[in-house]
Amino acid sequence: MHLRRSFALAAGTLALAASALTSCGFDYATDRPYTPAAGVNDRSGVVDVLGATIVASQADAGTFVATLSNNSADKAVALTSVSAVEGTPLTASTFEPITIKPLGLVNLADLGIGVAGDFSAGQFLSIELRFDNGETAAIELPVVTNCGMFAGFDTATAPDYVPAEGVEAADPAAEPTPYSCEPAEPVDHEE
């Protein structure tokens, strides 16, 4: 009888300890930043690149869109260039340096940095942003259509795209086909 009571007491203590210890942990999911959006974020430097995407009305041309947030409390930082990472079929338009005030932010959707290349909606492209403080941000960002929450963001004039050697260029005389923002027709799977 004494053995049963000791066993029951030990089992009860173990069950209480297990339930208490399983709730202990570190790095809770609620403590990590989460951004439910199509764009990607890069927080590796003084300037955070937030919600970065390429918004395209048609294949092969679009507008680079992101928000740049300067985390420096005393120095302004300027974005000086956007370029393709080697092997990415992309050319970005040139622009005057875009200054971000200390602890300030700039939304690039208003500035229209055009991109052109061999890409279409749904792809991910690797680009590099260069800043005047010497930092770079290499990010892989999605190409999204100029529809829904991104409607009206493809405002830039695309630069001339020169494909890499050995890559066949699209026919410049061909009229580009714009992406449709209409929902797809339902498919009847019953026969």
- Asked whether residue 102 is assigned to any structural domain, the reply reads yes
Strands 47-58 and 136-145: parallel
Confidence of residue 108 (pLDDT cuts 50, 70, 90): very high
Mean pLDDT of 150-171: 65
For the stretch 3-38, pLDDT in tens is 677 777 777 787 777 666 665 666 666 666 666 677
Mean pLDDT of 157-162: 62
Mean pLDDT of 115-134: 94
- Asked whether residue 159 is assigned to any structural domain, the reply reads no
- Number of folded domains that form the chain: 1
Q: Sign (positive/negative) of CA torsion 154, 159, 165, 167?
A: positive
Mean pLDDT of 111-138: 94
Q: What CATH number should be reported for the domain holding residue 120?
A: 2.60.40.1890
Q: Distance from CA of residue 69 to its chain's centroid? A: 14
Domain hosting 109: range is: 37-150
- Asked whether residue 74 is assigned to any structural domain, the reply reads yes
Mean pLDDT of 45-65: 94
* Token pair in block for residue 47: 């300037």
- Asked whether residue 119 is assigned to any structural domain, the reply reads yes
- Of 67, 151, 145, nearest in space to 113 by CA: 67
Three-class DSSP labels, 85-144 = CCCCCEEECCCCCEEECCCCEEEHHHCCEEEEECCCCCCEEEEEEEECCCCEEEEEEEEE
Mean pLDDT of 39-66: 94
Q: Whose structure tokens read 């079929």?
A: 89
- Asked whether residue 67 is assigned to any structural domain, the reply reads yes
